[in-house]
Amino acid sequence: MIYRIKQFYRGLFAKVSPEDRQFLKNHLSDQEIQLFYRLRIGEQRHCLNIAYDCLSIDKNNPALLKAALLHDVGKVKSNLTLINKALAVVSEKLNLPKKVMPKFLKKALYFKTHHPKIGAEMLKEIGTETAVVLLTRYHHEDLAGKLTTDFQTEEYPGRERGKNREMGFQQDFIKTLQILQKIDKKN
């Protein structure tokens, strides 16, 4: 709860500096930058903070860095303002039945649940690397121990490929995903 309140206040006073803008230019394509700036300012700050934290943990993981900046782009068409986000969290905690929910709350919950998938599709459309698309797609899922066909792909730049190449891709992917998830939660 205290974490949520902190997050709310941070969102209220969020800013993006000229240095941040340069950082975005250095790491994203023009289309990705356009998408990024469609996020609410609080979300932009959230993603930048995650990206800086990721850089301090792993300097040599460009997919992690880009996913940190882009993982929440599925929220660009949402109504997830600070207030609506707080209301969505409360309604989930109270297990509020959909029938009694006002429309705006249903919409907020829809984007809260589906923004990873929506974001991954948006990124795929503008040609973002597969690794970043997949990190975005699964950034709220626990994939440990699961084998899905999605990331058995040569395009994923795995760095710890084992004898079984597919498992190697997957293990590397999950490691990176878990770093992203941990830092996302802290921010």
Q: Residues 6 or more apart from 114 whose CB is under 8 A from it?
A: 74
Closer Cβ to Fe ion, 44 or 91, answer by number: 44
The alpha helices in 126-164, defined as continuous H runs, are 130-137
Q: Which of 113, 164 has the CB closer to Fe ion?
A: 113
Residues 56-75 interacting with Fe ion (rule: CB under 5 A)? 72
Tokens of 108: 């907020």
Q: How far is the CB of 187 from Fe ion (least distance, A)?
A: 7
Least CB distance to Fe ion at residue 16 (A): 16
Binding mask 147-186 for Fe ion (x = CB under 5 A): -------------------------------------x--
Residue 32 or 184: the one with the smaller Cβ distance to Fe ion is 184
The yes or no reply on residue 32 touching Fe ion (CB under 5 A) is no
Shortest Cβ 163–Fe ion spacing (Å): 34
Treating both helix axes as pointing N-terminal to C-terminal, what angle do 82-93 and 103-125 enclose, rounded to 10 degrees? 110
Q: List the alpha helices (DSSP H) in 72-156.
A: 82-93, 103-125, 130-137
In the numeric block, the tokens 């429309």 are attached to 103
Residue 165 to residue 186: CA distance in whole angstroms: 32
72 or 172, CB closer to Fe ion?
72
Least distance to Fe ion from the beta carbon of 19, Å?
21
CA 10 vs. chain centroid, Å, equals 18
User: Residue numbers of the site for Fe ion (CB under 5 A)?
Assistant: 72, 184
